[in-house]
Amino acid sequence: MSAKSTPKKTVKKTSDDEVVKKPVVRKVNKKRPQLLRGMKDILPQEQPYWEFVLESAAQTSRAYGYDRIDVPVVEELNLFVRSIGTGTDVVDKEMYEFETKGGDEVALRPEFTAGICRSYIEHGMMNLPKPVKLWTNGPLFRYDRPQAGRYRQFHQVDWEIIGSPQSALDAELISLAYHLLTGLGLEVTCQINSLGTPETRKAYITALKDYLKPHKKNLDEDSQERLTKNPLRILDSKDPGTQAILEDAPQMIDFLDDESREHFMSVLEYLDEGDIPYRLSSRLVRGLDYYTHTAFEFILKADEAELSPPALIGGGRYNYLLQELGAPEETPAIGMAMGVERIILALKQAGIEGSPAPKPDVFLAQIGETARKRALRLFEELRQEGFVVTSNISKNKLSDQLSLASKAEARVTLILGQKEMIDNTIIVRDMENGSQETIPQDDLIRSLRKQIKQ
Protein backbone atom coordinates (compact mmCIF):
# COMPACT_ATOMS: atom_id res chain seq x y z
CA MET A 1 0.00 0.00 0.00
CA SER A 2 1.24 3.47 -0.79
CA ALA A 3 1.54 6.06 1.88
CA LYS A 4 -0.95 8.15 -0.10
CA SER A 5 -3.76 5.61 0.08
CA THR A 6 -3.53 5.26 3.87
CA PRO A 7 -3.79 8.67 5.40
CA LYS A 8 -2.02 8.50 8.75
CA LYS A 9 -4.09 9.20 11.83
CA THR A 10 -2.54 11.93 13.86
CA VAL A 11 -2.86 10.35 17.26
CA LYS A 12 -0.31 12.00 19.51
CA LYS A 13 1.45 9.28 21.44
CA THR A 14 3.12 10.17 24.69
CA SER A 15 6.30 8.25 25.26
CA ASP A 16 6.98 6.66 28.60
CA ASP A 17 9.73 9.23 29.19
CA GLU A 18 7.35 12.14 28.65
CA VAL A 19 4.90 10.62 31.12
CA VAL A 20 7.63 10.18 33.69
CA LYS A 21 8.86 13.76 33.30
CA LYS A 22 5.43 15.43 33.40
CA PRO A 23 5.26 17.33 36.70
CA VAL A 24 2.30 16.91 39.01
CA VAL A 25 0.96 19.95 40.79
CA ARG A 26 0.65 19.01 44.45
CA LYS A 27 -0.76 20.73 47.49
CA VAL A 28 1.55 20.41 50.47
CA ASN A 29 -0.23 19.13 53.57
CA LYS A 30 1.21 20.79 56.69
CA LYS A 31 0.21 17.94 59.02
CA ARG A 32 3.14 16.09 60.60
CA PRO A 33 3.80 12.96 58.52
CA GLN A 34 3.10 9.79 60.46
CA LEU A 35 3.72 6.07 60.11
CA LEU A 36 0.96 4.47 58.02
CA ARG A 37 -1.42 2.00 59.65
CA GLY A 38 -0.12 -1.56 59.43
CA MET A 39 3.47 -0.43 58.80
CA LYS A 40 6.33 -0.78 61.26
CA ASP A 41 9.69 0.84 61.85
CA ILE A 42 12.34 -1.71 62.72
CA LEU A 43 14.29 0.28 65.30
CA PRO A 44 17.94 -0.31 66.22
CA GLN A 45 17.05 -2.26 69.37
CA GLU A 46 15.03 -4.72 67.23
CA GLN A 47 17.84 -5.35 64.78
CA PRO A 48 19.67 -8.11 66.73
CA TYR A 49 16.57 -10.30 66.32
CA TRP A 50 16.39 -9.59 62.59
CA GLU A 51 20.07 -10.31 62.15
CA PHE A 52 19.77 -13.56 64.11
CA VAL A 53 16.84 -14.82 62.02
CA LEU A 54 18.08 -13.65 58.61
CA GLU A 55 21.65 -14.84 59.21
CA SER A 56 20.43 -18.28 60.33
CA ALA A 57 18.14 -18.45 57.29
CA ALA A 58 20.98 -17.48 54.93
CA GLN A 59 23.36 -20.06 56.43
CA THR A 60 20.77 -22.84 56.34
CA SER A 61 19.80 -21.99 52.73
CA ARG A 62 23.42 -22.18 51.63
CA ALA A 63 23.91 -25.48 53.44
CA TYR A 64 20.87 -26.96 51.64
CA GLY A 65 22.19 -25.82 48.25
CA TYR A 66 19.92 -22.85 47.48
CA ASP A 67 21.00 -19.94 45.28
CA ARG A 68 19.90 -16.45 46.20
CA ILE A 69 17.51 -14.59 43.90
CA ASP A 70 15.93 -11.13 44.25
CA VAL A 71 12.82 -10.12 42.34
CA PRO A 72 11.19 -6.66 42.15
CA VAL A 73 8.70 -5.39 44.69
CA VAL A 74 6.44 -4.15 41.86
CA GLU A 75 5.12 -6.57 39.22
CA GLU A 76 2.30 -6.69 36.68
CA LEU A 77 -0.99 -7.00 38.56
CA ASN A 78 -1.94 -9.82 36.22
CA LEU A 79 0.95 -11.99 37.44
CA PHE A 80 -0.59 -12.22 40.91
CA VAL A 81 -4.19 -12.51 39.69
CA ARG A 82 -3.23 -15.42 37.41
CA SER A 83 -1.13 -17.26 39.96
CA ILE A 84 -2.79 -16.68 43.32
CA GLY A 85 -6.26 -16.79 41.80
CA THR A 86 -9.48 -14.77 41.99
CA GLY A 87 -11.68 -15.75 44.90
CA THR A 88 -8.72 -15.70 47.27
CA ASP A 89 -8.50 -13.05 49.99
CA VAL A 90 -5.05 -11.98 48.83
CA VAL A 91 -6.20 -11.13 45.30
CA ASP A 92 -9.76 -9.98 46.04
CA LYS A 93 -9.17 -7.88 49.13
CA GLU A 94 -5.54 -7.39 50.02
CA MET A 95 -3.54 -6.23 47.01
CA TYR A 96 -1.78 -2.89 46.92
CA GLU A 97 -2.55 -2.24 43.27
CA PHE A 98 -2.32 0.93 41.22
CA GLU A 99 -2.00 2.31 37.72
CA THR A 100 1.40 3.78 36.85
CA LYS A 101 1.76 7.15 35.13
CA GLY A 102 2.31 5.18 31.93
CA GLY A 103 -1.05 3.39 32.38
CA ASP A 104 0.27 -0.06 33.45
CA GLU A 105 -1.70 -1.97 36.06
CA VAL A 106 0.78 -3.06 38.70
CA ALA A 107 0.81 -4.38 42.26
CA LEU A 108 3.19 -4.51 45.20
CA ARG A 109 4.08 -8.17 45.65
CA PRO A 110 1.88 -9.93 48.22
CA GLU A 111 4.07 -13.08 48.08
CA PHE A 112 7.27 -14.30 46.44
CA THR A 113 6.38 -17.44 44.49
CA ALA A 114 4.72 -15.72 41.51
CA GLY A 115 7.63 -13.32 40.92
CA ILE A 116 10.22 -16.07 41.23
CA CYS A 117 8.32 -18.26 38.75
CA ARG A 118 8.09 -15.34 36.29
CA SER A 119 11.81 -14.80 36.63
CA TYR A 120 12.54 -18.53 36.20
CA ILE A 121 10.61 -18.53 32.91
CA GLU A 122 11.93 -15.21 31.58
CA HIS A 123 15.56 -16.12 32.25
CA GLY A 124 15.30 -19.60 30.75
CA MET A 125 16.20 -21.30 34.02
CA MET A 126 14.49 -24.44 32.69
CA ASN A 127 17.77 -25.03 30.88
CA LEU A 128 19.65 -25.31 34.17
CA PRO A 129 20.20 -28.70 35.83
CA LYS A 130 17.04 -29.59 37.74
CA PRO A 131 15.84 -28.98 40.33
CA VAL A 132 16.60 -25.27 40.56
CA LYS A 133 16.69 -24.27 44.23
CA LEU A 134 16.19 -20.59 44.95
CA TRP A 135 15.75 -18.55 48.11
CA THR A 136 15.09 -14.91 48.87
CA ASN A 137 13.85 -12.56 51.55
CA GLY A 138 12.34 -9.11 51.71
CA PRO A 139 9.17 -7.07 52.24
CA LEU A 140 5.71 -8.04 51.03
CA PHE A 141 2.46 -6.07 51.08
CA ARG A 142 -1.09 -7.10 51.91
CA TYR A 143 -3.85 -4.62 52.67
CA ASP A 144 -5.20 -6.73 55.51
CA ARG A 145 -6.66 -5.58 58.83
CA PRO A 146 -3.61 -5.00 61.07
CA GLN A 147 -3.55 -7.04 64.29
CA ALA A 148 -0.89 -8.34 66.66
CA GLY A 149 1.80 -9.92 64.47
CA ARG A 150 -0.05 -9.02 61.25
CA TYR A 151 1.16 -6.05 59.25
CA ARG A 152 0.47 -4.49 55.85
CA GLN A 153 4.17 -4.50 55.08
CA PHE A 154 5.74 -7.66 56.44
CA HIS A 155 8.77 -9.76 55.65
CA GLN A 156 9.27 -13.33 54.57
CA VAL A 157 12.15 -15.63 53.83
CA ASP A 158 11.10 -17.77 50.88
CA TRP A 159 12.40 -20.99 49.32
CA GLU A 160 11.41 -22.56 45.99
CA ILE A 161 12.50 -25.87 44.44
CA ILE A 162 11.57 -25.80 40.76
CA GLY A 163 11.62 -28.56 38.13
CA SER A 164 11.04 -31.85 39.94
CA PRO A 165 8.00 -33.80 41.18
CA GLN A 166 10.05 -35.98 43.56
CA SER A 167 8.56 -36.54 47.00
CA ALA A 168 12.06 -36.54 48.52
CA LEU A 169 12.23 -32.81 47.76
CA ASP A 170 8.98 -32.13 49.65
CA ALA A 171 10.59 -33.87 52.62
CA GLU A 172 13.90 -32.05 52.19
CA LEU A 173 12.14 -28.67 52.17
CA ILE A 174 10.17 -29.56 55.32
CA SER A 175 13.39 -30.78 56.90
CA LEU A 176 15.06 -27.42 56.18
CA ALA A 177 12.14 -25.64 57.86
CA TYR A 178 12.24 -27.93 60.89
CA HIS A 179 15.99 -27.62 61.41
CA LEU A 180 15.98 -23.86 60.88
CA LEU A 181 13.17 -23.31 63.40
CA THR A 182 14.56 -25.67 66.03
CA GLY A 183 18.04 -24.22 65.42
CA LEU A 184 16.60 -20.82 66.34
CA GLY A 185 15.46 -22.40 69.59
CA LEU A 186 11.72 -22.76 68.83
CA GLU A 187 9.65 -25.84 69.64
CA VAL A 188 7.48 -26.49 66.61
CA THR A 189 5.13 -28.99 64.97
CA CYS A 190 4.63 -29.54 61.27
CA GLN A 191 1.01 -29.90 60.20
CA ILE A 192 0.71 -31.60 56.85
CA ASN A 193 -1.98 -32.51 54.34
CA SER A 194 -2.31 -33.46 50.69
CA LEU A 195 -4.50 -31.40 48.38
CA GLY A 196 -4.17 -33.92 45.53
CA THR A 197 -4.49 -32.82 41.92
CA PRO A 198 -6.85 -30.16 40.50
CA GLU A 199 -9.24 -33.00 39.52
CA THR A 200 -9.33 -34.69 42.92
CA ARG A 201 -9.71 -31.27 44.52
CA LYS A 202 -12.67 -30.48 42.29
CA ALA A 203 -14.38 -33.72 43.35
CA TYR A 204 -13.68 -32.92 46.98
CA ILE A 205 -15.02 -29.37 46.66
CA THR A 206 -18.27 -30.72 45.20
CA ALA A 207 -18.62 -33.15 48.11
CA LEU A 208 -17.80 -30.43 50.65
CA LYS A 209 -20.34 -28.05 49.14
CA ASP A 210 -23.02 -30.77 49.12
CA TYR A 211 -22.30 -31.45 52.77
CA LEU A 212 -22.28 -27.76 53.81
CA LYS A 213 -25.28 -26.48 51.83
CA PRO A 214 -27.93 -27.80 54.25
CA HIS A 215 -25.97 -26.12 57.10
CA LYS A 216 -25.58 -22.80 55.27
CA LYS A 217 -27.55 -20.62 57.67
CA ASN A 218 -25.55 -21.89 60.64
CA LEU A 219 -22.19 -21.04 59.09
CA ASP A 220 -20.45 -17.78 59.98
CA GLU A 221 -20.95 -14.89 57.57
CA ASP A 222 -17.58 -15.23 55.79
CA SER A 223 -18.07 -18.94 55.29
CA GLN A 224 -21.55 -18.38 53.82
CA GLU A 225 -19.95 -16.14 51.24
CA ARG A 226 -17.13 -18.62 50.62
CA LEU A 227 -19.58 -21.44 49.97
CA THR A 228 -19.89 -20.21 46.39
CA LYS A 229 -16.60 -18.32 45.96
CA ASN A 230 -13.97 -20.50 47.62
CA PRO A 231 -15.47 -23.36 49.69
CA LEU A 232 -12.08 -24.85 50.65
CA ARG A 233 -11.31 -21.78 52.73
CA ILE A 234 -14.29 -22.59 54.98
CA LEU A 235 -12.04 -25.29 56.46
CA ASP A 236 -9.84 -22.44 57.77
CA SER A 237 -12.71 -20.74 59.60
CA LYS A 238 -12.00 -19.73 63.18
CA ASP A 239 -15.71 -19.67 64.06
CA PRO A 240 -16.54 -22.38 66.65
CA GLY A 241 -20.03 -22.93 65.16
CA THR A 242 -18.59 -23.51 61.69
CA GLN A 243 -15.84 -25.71 63.12
CA ALA A 244 -18.48 -27.86 64.86
CA ILE A 245 -20.30 -28.33 61.55
CA LEU A 246 -17.02 -29.27 59.89
CA GLU A 247 -16.44 -32.12 62.37
CA ASP A 248 -18.42 -34.51 60.16
CA ALA A 249 -17.45 -33.00 56.80
CA PRO A 250 -15.90 -35.24 54.12
CA GLN A 251 -12.10 -35.47 54.32
CA MET A 252 -9.80 -34.53 51.48
CA ILE A 253 -7.60 -37.59 52.00
CA ASP A 254 -10.50 -39.90 51.03
CA PHE A 255 -10.68 -38.22 47.61
CA LEU A 256 -7.02 -38.60 46.63
CA ASP A 257 -6.27 -40.70 43.54
CA ASP A 258 -3.65 -43.47 43.72
CA GLU A 259 -0.82 -41.30 42.49
CA SER A 260 -1.55 -38.50 44.94
CA ARG A 261 -1.87 -40.94 47.82
CA GLU A 262 1.39 -42.60 46.88
CA HIS A 263 3.18 -39.24 46.71
CA PHE A 264 1.82 -38.24 50.10
CA MET A 265 2.75 -41.57 51.75
CA SER A 266 6.23 -41.31 50.31
CA VAL A 267 6.71 -37.78 51.75
CA LEU A 268 5.61 -39.05 55.18
CA GLU A 269 8.02 -41.98 54.98
CA TYR A 270 10.91 -39.63 54.25
CA LEU A 271 9.88 -37.47 57.19
CA ASP A 272 9.78 -40.52 59.47
CA GLU A 273 13.21 -41.49 58.23
CA GLY A 274 14.56 -37.99 58.99
CA ASP A 275 12.92 -37.94 62.46
CA ILE A 276 10.88 -34.88 61.52
CA PRO A 277 7.75 -34.84 63.71
CA TYR A 278 4.49 -34.04 61.92
CA ARG A 279 0.74 -34.20 62.43
CA LEU A 280 -1.74 -35.01 59.70
CA SER A 281 -4.16 -32.16 59.36
CA SER A 282 -7.03 -32.88 57.00
CA ARG A 283 -8.32 -29.31 57.17
CA LEU A 284 -5.11 -27.61 56.13
CA VAL A 285 -5.78 -26.01 52.73
CA ARG A 286 -3.66 -22.82 52.70
CA GLY A 287 -4.90 -19.58 51.22
CA LEU A 288 -3.62 -19.66 47.67
CA ASP A 289 -5.12 -21.40 44.65
CA TYR A 290 -2.07 -22.96 43.09
CA TYR A 291 -1.22 -25.68 45.59
CA THR A 292 -1.31 -29.36 44.62
CA HIS A 293 -0.33 -32.44 46.65
CA THR A 294 1.69 -31.57 49.76
CA ALA A 295 0.60 -28.58 51.86
CA PHE A 296 2.15 -27.88 55.25
CA GLU A 297 2.48 -25.34 58.02
CA PHE A 298 4.77 -25.09 60.99
CA ILE A 299 3.21 -23.85 64.21
CA LEU A 300 4.52 -23.45 67.74
CA LYS A 301 4.08 -26.58 69.87
CA ALA A 302 2.53 -24.34 72.51
CA ASP A 303 -0.23 -23.36 70.02
CA GLU A 304 -1.16 -26.94 69.08
CA ALA A 305 -4.46 -26.89 70.93
CA GLU A 306 -5.67 -23.71 69.20
CA LEU A 307 -8.34 -23.88 66.51
CA SER A 308 -6.31 -22.17 63.81
CA PRO A 309 -2.94 -21.29 65.23
CA PRO A 310 -0.78 -18.70 63.45
CA ALA A 311 1.74 -20.32 61.11
CA LEU A 312 5.45 -19.58 61.32
CA ILE A 313 6.14 -21.17 57.95
CA GLY A 314 3.67 -22.24 55.29
CA GLY A 315 4.23 -23.95 52.00
CA GLY A 316 3.22 -26.51 49.46
CA ARG A 317 3.69 -28.11 46.08
CA TYR A 318 2.51 -26.30 42.96
CA ASN A 319 2.93 -28.58 39.96
CA TYR A 320 0.94 -26.55 37.42
CA LEU A 321 1.65 -22.91 38.19
CA LEU A 322 4.75 -22.52 36.01
CA GLN A 323 3.02 -23.83 32.92
CA GLU A 324 0.05 -21.61 33.65
CA LEU A 325 2.46 -18.65 33.70
CA GLY A 326 4.01 -19.65 30.36
CA ALA A 327 6.72 -22.28 31.01
CA PRO A 328 7.07 -24.33 27.83
CA GLU A 329 6.87 -27.68 29.60
CA GLU A 330 5.36 -29.22 32.71
CA THR A 331 7.41 -27.79 35.57
CA PRO A 332 6.49 -29.23 38.97
CA ALA A 333 7.69 -27.24 41.95
CA ILE A 334 7.39 -26.81 45.70
CA GLY A 335 8.04 -23.84 47.97
CA MET A 336 7.50 -22.30 51.37
CA ALA A 337 7.69 -18.96 53.15
CA MET A 338 8.59 -18.00 56.69
CA GLY A 339 7.04 -14.92 58.30
CA VAL A 340 9.94 -13.05 59.90
CA GLU A 341 7.78 -10.88 62.21
CA ARG A 342 5.99 -14.00 63.49
CA ILE A 343 9.28 -15.75 64.17
CA ILE A 344 10.63 -12.75 66.07
CA LEU A 345 7.45 -12.57 68.14
CA ALA A 346 7.83 -16.27 68.96
CA LEU A 347 11.50 -15.81 69.89
CA LYS A 348 10.61 -12.96 72.24
CA GLN A 349 7.81 -14.97 73.84
CA ALA A 350 10.22 -17.86 74.38
CA GLY A 351 12.81 -15.50 75.91
CA ILE A 352 15.34 -16.18 73.14
CA GLU A 353 17.66 -13.26 72.44
CA GLY A 354 18.86 -12.13 69.03
CA SER A 355 22.47 -11.76 67.88
CA PRO A 356 24.14 -9.02 69.89
CA ALA A 357 26.44 -6.75 67.90
CA PRO A 358 30.05 -7.96 68.20
CA LYS A 359 31.98 -6.35 71.04
CA PRO A 360 34.71 -4.01 69.79
CA ASP A 361 38.34 -5.11 69.92
CA VAL A 362 39.47 -1.54 69.98
CA PHE A 363 38.11 1.82 71.14
CA LEU A 364 40.07 4.65 69.58
CA ALA A 365 40.26 7.78 71.77
CA GLN A 366 41.77 11.09 70.73
CA ILE A 367 42.59 14.38 72.45
CA GLY A 368 43.08 17.57 70.43
CA GLU A 369 42.56 18.61 66.81
CA THR A 370 45.69 17.04 65.25
CA ALA A 371 45.11 13.73 67.04
CA ARG A 372 41.53 13.74 65.85
CA LYS A 373 42.65 14.05 62.24
CA ARG A 374 45.11 11.17 62.65
CA ALA A 375 42.43 9.13 64.46
CA LEU A 376 40.10 9.30 61.44
CA ARG A 377 42.76 7.68 59.29
CA LEU A 378 43.91 5.21 61.93
CA PHE A 379 40.31 4.08 62.49
CA GLU A 380 40.07 3.00 58.85
CA GLU A 381 43.54 1.36 58.91
CA LEU A 382 42.55 -0.75 61.93
CA ARG A 383 39.20 -1.67 60.38
CA GLN A 384 40.92 -2.79 57.20
CA GLU A 385 43.29 -4.93 59.27
CA GLY A 386 40.22 -6.80 60.49
CA PHE A 387 39.78 -5.33 63.99
CA VAL A 388 36.30 -4.42 65.25
CA VAL A 389 36.92 -0.74 66.01
CA THR A 390 34.72 1.91 67.52
CA SER A 391 35.26 5.52 68.53
CA ASN A 392 33.36 8.71 69.24
CA ILE A 393 35.04 11.45 67.32
CA SER A 394 32.64 14.10 68.65
CA LYS A 395 33.94 13.75 72.23
CA ASN A 396 36.96 15.74 73.47
CA LYS A 397 37.43 14.67 77.08
CA LEU A 398 39.43 11.49 77.65
CA SER A 399 37.29 10.53 80.68
CA ASP A 400 34.13 10.59 78.50
CA GLN A 401 35.80 8.43 75.90
CA LEU A 402 37.11 5.94 78.46
CA SER A 403 33.67 5.50 79.93
CA LEU A 404 32.23 4.91 76.44
CA ALA A 405 34.96 2.32 75.84
CA SER A 406 34.13 0.41 79.00
CA LYS A 407 30.38 0.63 78.27
CA ALA A 408 31.03 -0.89 74.84
CA GLU A 409 33.19 -3.57 76.55
CA ALA A 410 36.14 -2.90 74.24
CA ARG A 411 39.19 -5.12 74.88
CA VAL A 412 41.67 -2.30 74.32
CA THR A 413 41.51 1.49 74.23
CA LEU A 414 44.03 3.38 72.10
CA ILE A 415 44.79 6.92 73.21
CA LEU A 416 46.22 9.51 70.85
CA GLY A 417 47.06 12.88 72.46
CA GLN A 418 49.23 15.84 71.53
CA LYS A 419 52.38 14.32 73.09
CA GLU A 420 51.88 11.04 71.24
CA MET A 421 51.38 12.92 67.97
CA ILE A 422 54.76 14.65 68.45
CA ASP A 423 56.55 11.41 69.48
CA ASN A 424 54.80 9.26 66.87
CA THR A 425 53.60 6.93 69.63
CA ILE A 426 50.23 5.75 70.93
CA ILE A 427 48.98 4.59 74.33
CA VAL A 428 47.52 1.09 74.47
CA ARG A 429 45.28 0.55 77.50
CA ASP A 430 44.17 -2.95 78.41
CA MET A 431 40.54 -2.51 79.52
CA GLU A 432 40.51 -5.77 81.46
CA ASN A 433 43.29 -4.96 83.93
CA GLY A 434 43.70 -1.19 83.39
CA SER A 435 47.42 -1.49 82.55
CA GLN A 436 48.74 0.72 79.79
CA GLU A 437 51.90 1.16 77.77
CA THR A 438 53.15 3.65 75.20
CA ILE A 439 54.38 2.11 71.96
CA PRO A 440 55.59 3.46 68.58
CA GLN A 441 52.68 3.88 66.16
CA ASP A 442 54.57 1.68 63.70
CA ASP A 443 54.35 -1.25 66.13
CA LEU A 444 50.62 -0.84 66.77
CA ILE A 445 49.15 -3.48 64.45
CA ARG A 446 51.70 -6.14 65.49
CA SER A 447 51.15 -5.41 69.16
CA LEU A 448 47.34 -5.43 68.86
CA ARG A 449 47.44 -8.74 67.00
CA LYS A 450 49.39 -10.24 69.88
CA GLN A 451 47.11 -8.79 72.51
CA ILE A 452 43.80 -9.56 70.80
CA LYS A 453 44.91 -12.91 69.30
CA GLN A 454 43.11 -12.62 65.97
Interface map 155-184 toward ligand AMP (x if CB under 6 A): -x----------------------------
Angle between helix axes 258-273 and 167-183 (nearest 10 degrees) is 40
Is residue 186 part of the contact set for ligand AMP (CB under 6 A)? no
Q: Give the binding range for ligand AMP (CB under 6 A) out of 241-249, 277-285, 311-319, 416-424.
A: 311-319
Q: How far is the CB of 312 from ligand AMP (least distance, A)?
A: 6
- Residue number of the CB closest to ligand AMP reads 339
The residue range among 206-214, 238-246, 306-314, 390-398 that interacts with ligand AMP, by the rule CB under 6 A, is 306-314
Check residue 312 for interaction with ligand AMP (CB under 6 A): yes
Query: Site for ligand AMP (CB under 6 A): which residue of 85, 335, 339, 360?
Result: 339
154 near ligand AMP, judged by CB under 6 A:
yes
Q: Are strands 188-194 and 132-141 parallel, antiparallel or unpaired?
A: unpaired
Binding ligand AMP (rule: CB under 6 A), the pick from 109, 133, 233, 342 is 342
Decide: is 66 part of the binding site for ligand AMP (CB under 6 A).
Answer: no
Cβ nearer to ligand AMP, comparing 75 with 111: 111
Q: Does 151 bind ligand AMP (CB under 6 A)?
A: yes
The answer on whether 142 is annotated among ligand-binding residues is yes
Q: Which residues, listed in sequence order, are joined to residue 426 by a DSSP beta bridge?
A: 439
Q: Specify the residue, 88 or 331, whose C-beta has the smaller distance to ligand AMP.
A: 88
Is 290 known to sit in a ligand binding site?
yes
Backbone angles phi, psi at 64, to 5 degrees: -90, 5
111 is in an annotated binding site: yes
Examine residue 316 and tell whether it contacts ligand AMP (CB under 6 A).
no
317 near ligand AMP, judged by CB under 6 A:
no
Task: Please tell me whether residue 232 binds ligand AMP under the rule CB under 6 A.
Answer: no
Binding mask 95-134 for ligand AMP (x = CB under 6 A): ----------------x-----------------------
What is the 3 state secondary structure string of the chain? Answer: CCCCCCCCCCCCCCCHHHHHHCCCCCCCCCCCCCCCCCCCCCCHHHHHHHHHHHHHHHHHHHHCCCEECCCCCEEEHHHHHHHHCCCCHHHHHCCCEEECCCCCEEEECCCCHHHHHHHHHHCCHHHCCCCEEEEEEEEEECCCCCECCECCEEEEEEEEEECCCCHHHHHHHHHHHHHHHHHCCCCEEEEEEECCCHHHHHHHHHHHHHHHHHHHHHCCHHHHHHHHHCHHHHHHCCCHHHHHHHCCCCCHHHHCCHHHHHHHHHHHHHHHHCCCCEEECCCCCCCCCCCEEEEEEEEEHHHCCCCCCCCCEEEEECCCHHHHCCCCCCCCEEEEEEEHHHHHHHHHHCCCCCCCCCCCCEEEEECCHHHHHHHHHHHHHHHHCCCCEEECCCCCCHHHHHHHHHHCCCCEEEEECHHHHHHCEEEEEECCCCCEEEEEHHHHHHHHHHHHCC
Instruction: Name the residue among 300, 279, 208, 283 with its Cα closest to residue 243.
Output: 283
**Near ligand AMP by CB under 6 A: residue from 311, 327, 371, 415:** 311
- Asked if 144 is part of the footprint of ligand AMP (rule: CB under 6 A), the reply reads yes
286 annotated to bind ligand: yes
Among 289, 341, 361, 420, indicate the residue that binds ligand AMP (CB under 6 A).
341
Tell the smallest beta-carbon distance from residue 110 to ligand AMP (Å).
8
Q: Which stretch binds ligand AMP (CB under 6 A): 339-347, 355-363, 386-394, 434-442?
A: 339-347
Site track for ligand AMP across 237-276, x = CB under 6 A: ----------------------------------------
Q: Which of residues 318-337 bind ligand AMP (CB under 6 A)?
A: 337
Distance separating the N- and C-terminal Cα atoms of the chain: 80
Can you name the residues that pair with 438 across neighbouring β-strands? Answer: 427
Residues 270-289, interacting with ligand AMP (CB under 6 A): 287
| Residues tagged in the binding site annotation | 111-113, 142, 156, 160, 286, 290-291
Annotated binding site for L-histidine: 111-113, 142, 156, 160, 286, 290-291
Residues that bind ligand AMP (CB under 6 A): 111, 142, 144, 150-151, 154, 156, 287, 311-314, 337, 339, 341-342
